[in-house]
Amino acid sequence: MSPWIRYSLIRLSLFAVVLAAGLLLNVPPLWATIAAAIIGLCVSYIFFGKLRNQVALDLAARRQRGSVNTDSDEDAQLDEAEGRDAEPRDIEQRDVEQRDERDARP
| Rounded CA separation 29/32 (Å) | 5
Q: How many domains is the chain partitioned into structurally?
A: 2
The tens digit of pLDDT for each residue in 22-71 reads 999 999 999 999 999 999 999 999 999 999 999 889 888 888 887 555 56
On whether both 82 and 62 belong to a single domain, the answer is no
Please spell the DSSP secondary structure of 65-81, one letter per residue: HT-SPPHHHHHHHHHHH
The whole domain housing 28 covers: 1-68
| Rounded CA separation 17/65 (Å) | 37
3 state SS of 33: helix
pTM of the model: 0.57
On whether both 45 and 3 belong to a single domain, the answer is yes
| Rounded CA separation 32/17 (Å) | 11
On whether both 16 and 36 belong to a single domain, the answer is yes
DSSP symbol at 26: T
